[in-house]
Amino acid sequence: MQTAIPCLFMRGGTSRGPFFNAADLPQDIATRDKVLLAVMGSPDRRQIDGLGGAHPLTSKVGIVSKGSKPGVDLDFLFAQLQPDKDTVDTTPNCGNMLAAVVPFALETGMIKPQGDTTTLRVLTLNTDMQCDITVQTPGGHVSYDGDARIDGAPGTSAPIKINFLDTAGSVAPSLLPTGNVRDVIDGVEVTCIDNGMPLVMFKAEAVGRTGYESVEELNADTELKARLETLRIACGHAMQLGDVTKKNYPKMTLIAAPRAGGSITTRSFIPHVCHDAIGVLAAVTVATACVLKGSVTEGIAIVPDGQVKQISVEHPTGEFSVEIEVDPANPQDVTRAALLRTARLLMRGDAMVPAAVWGGKQTADATLRRAG
Ligand code: NQM
């Protein structure tokens, strides 16, 4: 016997994974984590016995429920697993998986559509961050067809707009958790910053690289990876994040001058594998560093004038545009960040876990939902 758990398999931005109604998973966290590991097939480099895609970007899980706070429509808990580790990390955010939350809630009838578009307020439980997400719902159905293109995912889809309301100091205690906009740590000039995702940013040339290397080159660069890990652990302490040896943050971000008409070039380690693009909140955080006087981006980032700025973050497979708004009285203060993602429902059904992992008494609700 296996336990069947109702599940939608979804792409969110440039990530992918199973999404669950929180009510269908074990309420006890240790059992829930065992279930998620079994669903994904971790730990195993190939995740051959589960749904994971043998990469951190395809080892992600979304857990959704109705909003628990006044004014909030939906709660979202993101879980980061790893192919070859037995960890389930719910500390940091994932802005890519976030893009699939409203489509999931509409598809499963958790919430009703509002008209041709549906805008819902979503609370990310990982860091207590709120955002407004708008999806296309013509005729009361989620539309996945459209002209929106995001680099890092093939083709075009319906646009999903995310408007972040409060991102500063997501996992770290503040936007600049070392108290400085620039530090020298382990011999490298860095900006340690968290506007939705804790990042350590530094010029690629500071570690003897150009910042224009391919993902394959960087993933094969064991000398660089060892250097980055030592730096990451030192920065983790400086950012008041404690021992980050087993954590997926801070992400290590090499930067260089833009060379495709954008604002800055990045290579983002998440944190041990180089991202094919860049994370959503990582891009928001990079864009924020670009407007901070004295950050390591100074002298290389090209930043437009005005209160609302489009910052184009170049990455290995294209670029990621972030719209940021600064306080006119204090142009160092980013008050809002908005961006475009896409998502798609890939499959609906039940995720099966061995009964030895979870006996999983299915609720009447779950059975009904499965029956449609
Ligand atoms: O930064 C990868 C991704 C992410 C996270 C990672 C993300 C974000 O691309 O908000 O989206 O940084 O591990 O899914």
- pLDDT tens per residue, range 109-155: 999 999 999 999 999 999 999 999 999 999 999 999 999 999 999 99
Instruction: Give the model confidence (pLDDT) of 87-96 as tens digits.
Output: 999 999 999 9
Centre of ligand 1 from the C-alpha of residue 109, in Å:
27
| Distance from Cα 180 to the centre of ligand 1, integer Å | 25
pLDDT band at residue 372 under the 50/70/90 scheme: low
Higher pLDDT: 342 or 166? It is 342
Distances (CA, A) of 335 to 166, 177, 181, 230: 8, 18, 18, 33
Is 70 exceeded by the pLDDT of residue 321? yes
Phi/psi for 17 (5° steps) reads 175, 175
**Which range is least confidently modeled, 64-68, 212-216, 362-366?**
362-366
| Residue 299 CA to its chain's centroid (Å) | 28
- Give the whole-number percent of the chain exceeding pLDDT 90: 95
Q: What is the pLDDT of residue 180?
A: 98
Q: Does ligand 1 come within 6 angstroms of the Cβ of 270?
A: yes
Question: Is any ligand 1 atom within 6 A of the Cβ of residue 95?
Answer: yes
Question: What's the chain's length in residues?
Answer: 372
Measured CA to CA, the distance from residue 36 to residue 25 in angstroms comes to 9
What pLDDT is stored for residue 96 in this prediction?
Answer: 97
- Output the average pLDDT for the chain: 96
279-308 pLDDT per residue, tens? 999 999 999 999 999 999 999 999 999 999
The structural domains of the chain, ordered by start, are: 2-159+343-371 (3.10.310.10), 183-339 (3.10.310.10)
Report how far ligand 1's centroid is from the alpha carbon of 363 (Å): 33
Least confident of 20-24, 40-44, 253-257, 368-372: 368-372
CA distance 144 to 123: 23
Nearest ligand 1 atom to alpha carbon 12: 14
Q: From atom 4 of ligand 1, which residue's Cα is the shortest distance away?
A: 279
pLDDT of residue 222: 98
99 Cβ inside 6 Å of ligand 1: no
pLDDT digits (tens, 9 = 90+) for 223-266: 999 999 999 999 999 999 999 999 999 999 999 999 999 999 99
Ligand 1, pocket-test mutation among 11, 58, 96, most atoms within 8 A of CB: 96
> Tens of pLDDT along 76-119?
999 999 999 999 999 999 999 999 999 999 999 999 999 999 99
pLDDT at 367: 55
Residue 346 in contact with residue 62, Cβ under 8 Å?
Answer: no
Is any atom of ligand 1 closer than 6 Å to the C-beta of 81? no
pLDDT mean over 207-234 = 98
Q: Looking at residue 1, what is its pLDDT? A: 87
CA dist 283 and 313 (Å) reads 7
CB 36 within 8 A of CB 353: no
Neighbours of 125 (CB within 10 A): 17
Three-state SS for 233?
helix
Residue whose C-alpha is closest to residue 144's, from 188, 100, 179: 100
- Cα dist from 153 to 75, 113, 163, 256, whole Å: 26, 26, 21, 24
Residue 233's nearest CA partner among 268, 192, 204 is: 192
Q: Is the CB of 93 under 6 A from ligand 1?
A: yes
**Atom of ligand 1 minimally distant from the CA of 277:** 9
Phi and psi (nearest 5°) for 82? -130, 145
Q: How far is the CA of 111 from the centre of ligand 1 (A)?
A: 26
In the reported structure, the alpha carbon of residue 350 is separated from the centroid of ligand 1 by a whole-number distance in angstroms of 26
